[in-house]
Structure formats: C-alpha cells, structure tokens
C-alpha cells in the first residue's frame, strides 16, 4: 500500500473530517448513506459525495443493494488505512 501513493491517500482522507469519520465507521460494518448521514449529522448529499470519493480511491465499496437501500463497507485497503490512522493516534 505504501508503494502506490499511501501518503497521498492518507493525506486525502485525513484532509476531510467527513471522509475520515465515514471510513472509520465503515470499518465497523456496512452502513447505508442515510445511516451515515444521521450518525454524523451531515446531509445525505455530503455523505454521498464523500462515499464516491472514497470509492474512487478503492477504500470503500457498495456491499449490498436493494430496491430501497445501498450498503457500503470498507475494503481491505480502507481497513488497512484506518488501522494506520488509529495506530498513529495512540
């Protein structure tokens, strides 16, 4: 992971409180956009944009889609990055 722009991706994620909180939240289990918006007190459109940005970096992915909801989860890459953030915070 460090060989493919780890520092850039870590800076990108940590540069947004919304991106970093969403990524950390998704490491705990799949959530919908609405659940994330409610948990973090953000508008659904703000969360949707952050999810799209995280997905473009390969850090989250759609997990389960139904007619009414789409769940997202952290990818292995996203979990690894979150682990590094937590490790640095100690």
Span 1-28, pLDDT tens digits:
444 567 888 888 888 899 999 999 999 9
Q: What are the b/e assignments for 38-70, b being 16+ CB within 10 Å? A: eeeebeeeebbebbebbeebebbbebeeeeeee
Report the predicted TM-score, pTM, of the whole model to 2 decimal places: 0.86
**Who has greater pLDDT, 69 or 22?**
22
Q: What is the pLDDT of residue 59?
A: 96
**Who has greater pLDDT, 76 or 8?**
76
Give residue 32's pLDDT band: very low, low, confident or very high (50, 70, 90). very high
Supply the mean pLDDT for the chain.
88
Query: Residue 63: is its pLDDT beyond 70?
Result: yes
- Structurally, how many domains does the chain consist of? 1
Q: What percent of the chain has pLDDT over 90?
A: 61
Q: What is the pLDDT of residue 88?
A: 61
- Host domain of residue 53: 2-89
- Provide the CATH number for the domain around residue 7: 1.10.10.10
Dmax over CA atoms of the chain, in Å, equals 41
């Amino acid at each position: 992971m460090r060989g493919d722009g780890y520092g850039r991706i870590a800076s990108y994620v940590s540069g947004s409180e919304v991106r970093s909180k969403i990524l950390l939240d998704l490491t705990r289990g799949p959530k919908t956009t609405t659940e994330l918006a409610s948990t973090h007190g953000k508008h659904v459109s703000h969360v949707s944009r952050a999810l799209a940005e995280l997905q473009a970096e390969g850090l989250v992915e759609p997990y389960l889609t139904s007619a009414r909801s789409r769940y997202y989860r952290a990818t292995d890459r996203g979990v690894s990055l979150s682990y590094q953030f937590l490790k640095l915070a100690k």
